[in-house]
Amino acid sequence: MDTATMPPTNVMNGATSLLRTLIASDVRVCFANPGTSEMHFVEALDRVEGMRCVPCLFEGVVSGAADAYYRIAEKPAATLLHLGPGLGNALANLHNAKKARSGIVNVVGEHALEHIRYDAPLTADIEGIARPVSNWVRTSRDARALAADTAAAVEAAREYPGQVATLVLPANVAWETAEGTAMARAPSPPARVSKEAIAAGAAALKNGASTVLLLGGGAVRGRPLELAGRIAAKTGCRLMAEFALARAEGGAGRVGFAKIPYVVDAATAALAGARQMVLVGSRPPVSFFAYPDKPSLQAPHDCLMVPVARVDQDVTDALGALADALGAAATPPAGVCQRSKDKPPTGPITPEGIAAVVAALLPENAIVVDESVSTGRGFARAMTGAAPHDWMNIMGGSIGWGLPAAVGAAVAAPGRKVVVMESDGSAMYTISALWSLAREGLDATILLFSNRSYRILQGELTRMGGGRKGSASMNLLELDQPPLDWKSLATGHGLQFARAETLEDLARAFDRGLKSGGPNLVEVVLP
């Protein structure tokens, strides 16, 4: 179809039908980086009210923001991506989103169907690119069916605990005449666990063996976490959680738990002596990587795994049933965190000092986005004394998530403070997210840990290579030639900036940032 056969602007076209269906299905935020093939979607925004579009300068910011939006809002946002290359740029943070089980509706523009055969420069196998990072993929081929296809995408994204759905939108389907609007059906409740699984978990928890109750997914917040604390109080089991958590509740008034450490030696030491592991919303703990002469599975080789609930099952019901089976439903929960009254420490910058400053000043109900990777690895202990908060980790290990996640979290919760723990190397992957934060006036304070290196990779080099470090290898892992100018980067993108070389500097800058109500970046200079 050429432009002479496009419907008049007062007739509903496919793009309008898609947009109205998204809004009717309560998908009201779209993180966008459009191109020519998406211009009918863009034009429809002037005719259809109800969609907030957040422009992002790079597709990896689009996908990372949509991931974090779902984790906080607990409903999907849409993305708008340009053809195969635009989707390709979004892949790393879609990988993280899929690992986090976040619900996202990707709308990916495609050439008009009759144009694809000419193999224009941007022609690509969009479905092939999408499948590894999507749970659901469909190309819509008829404007009259686009509303139904859109509703199906939303339904797939909502499937508990969340899925990545990718809808490919050919340009002619966007401009051709459509017939109406659809509405996605309400999501089904999560599947309940079997009575047999509850009985097996209860038997393990009361047989007297050294037992870890390992939590993941939705089990680390709200009612499930409280129930886990009651079970721990009743049975004496150790309460632990996976290292990477999509969203966990912590701080004063919440049940505390230990996280399995990232480093394999520390993880195996933490789990030493465990004879049983009862899994609720979690899997047997596995190291991020294989290392010479180190185990991939972190629990002792003879530790019995007792799966009770998968992450896609009803963990609230599972822990409630476990508590009932153990007579723990009325037991006061163990390990409830108490608010620390410690004042922010002073002196030189250290990881422990940073954690103490953040814990002392963190506002109630804040959202912490953690991509600190190496600097913040041990922050959990100090944060037990902080005000109650939510904490989000990078889930898929693909760095460049933290700054985009700040965009998504702040859009999802405009009344809450967003605090970002970010490392300099990771930040540079998606630095343009700073512009989106400034453009939208989002309330986010970024603590940028400046160690002028890929510190985590320096540690990995030691673990992989037995400590051999030469000038060639270290040259690849250092970021000081030239050093990154964070003042210029922050202010150039429209953020307020401060530099902290002592813990006193950090406390002042962090406090100012929290009170500013807008986006700001604090460079925390590490030795």
Least confident span in 318-332, 340-354, 370-384 = 370-384
Q: Within its chain, how far is the Cα of 476 from the centroid? A: 28
- Residue 461, pLDDT score: 61
Average pLDDT value over all residues in the chain: 94
Q: Which residues of 483-522 are buried (b: 16+ CB within 10 A; e: fewer)?
A: ebebeebbeebebbbbbbeebebbbbbbeebbeeebbbbb
pLDDT range class, residue 1, cuts 50, 70, 90: very low
Residue 3 predicted with pLDDT over 50:
no
- Class for the domain spanning 195-243+255-286+295-326: alpha beta
Picking from 219, 203, 210, the residue whose alpha carbon sits closest to that of residue 277 is 210
CB 28 within 8 Å of CB 50: yes
Picking from 330, 334, 380, the residue whose alpha carbon sits closest to that of residue 359 is 380
Residue 8 predicted with pLDDT over 80:
no
Rg for the chain (alpha carbons), in Å? 24
Least confident span in 6-20, 169-183, 330-344, 513-527 = 6-20
Give DSSP secondary structure letters for 70-120: HHHHSSPEEEEE-HHHHHHHHHHHHHHHHHHT--EEEEEEE--GGGGGG--
- Residue 179, pLDDT score: 87
* Spatial distance between the Cα atoms of 148 and 184, rounded to a whole number of angstroms: 8
Cβ-proximal residues to 277 (8 Å cutoff; 6+ apart), any chain: 211, 212, 214, 271, 284, 299, 303, 304, 305, 306
* Spatial distance between the Cα atoms of 172 and 162, rounded to a whole number of angstroms: 30
- Residue 301, pLDDT score: 94
Domain(s) labelled CATH 3.40.50.1220 in the chain stretch across 195-243+255-286+295-326
Q: What is the tens place of the pLDDT at every residue in 391-405?
A: 999 999 999 999 999
Give DSSP secondary structure letters for 417-439: -EEEEEEHHHHGGGTTHHHHHHH
* Spatial distance between the Cα atoms of 173 and 112, rounded to a whole number of angstroms: 7
Superfamily grouping for domain 351-525:
Thiamin diphosphate (ThDP)-binding fold, Pyr/PP domains (3.40.50.970)
Cβ neighbours, 10 Å, residue 527: 7
pLDDT range class, residue 156, cuts 50, 70, 90: very high
When comparing pLDDT for 374 and 161, which is higher? Answer: 161
Q: Please tell me the CATH code under which domain 3-175 is placed.
A: 3.40.50.970
Residue 490 one-letter amino acid: A
pLDDT range class, residue 49, cuts 50, 70, 90: very high
* Spatial distance between the Cα atoms of 213 and 497, rounded to a whole number of angstroms: 43
- Region 202-219 average pLDDT: 97
* Spatial distance between the Cα atoms of 65 and 84, rounded to a whole number of angstroms: 19
Tell me the Ramachandran region of residue 122: left when phi exceeds 0, alpha when psi lies from -120 to 50, beta otherwise.
alpha
- Residue 482, pLDDT score: 87
Q: What is the tens place of the pLDDT at every residue in 455-472?
A: 555 565 666 665 555 566
pLDDT range class, residue 38, cuts 50, 70, 90: very high
Cβ-proximal residues to 185 (8 Å cutoff; 6+ apart), any chain: 151, 155
Domain(s) labelled CATH 3.40.50.970 in the chain stretch across 3-175, 351-525
- Residue 466, pLDDT score: 54
Q: What is the tens place of the pLDDT at every residue in 250-274?
A: 999 999 999 999 989 999 999 999 9
Report the percent of the chain where pLDDT is more than 70: 93
Helix (H, G, I), strand (E, B) or coil at 188: coil
Helix axes 83-100, 59-73, angle to 10 degrees: 30
* Spatial distance between the Cα atoms of 34 and 197, rounded to a whole number of angstroms: 47
Report the percent of the chain where pLDDT is more than 90: 88
* Spatial distance between the Cα atoms of 321 and 198, rounded to a whole number of angstroms: 7
pLDDT range class, residue 375, cuts 50, 70, 90: confident
Picking from 167, 32, 155, 141, the residue whose alpha carbon sits closest to that of residue 86 is 32
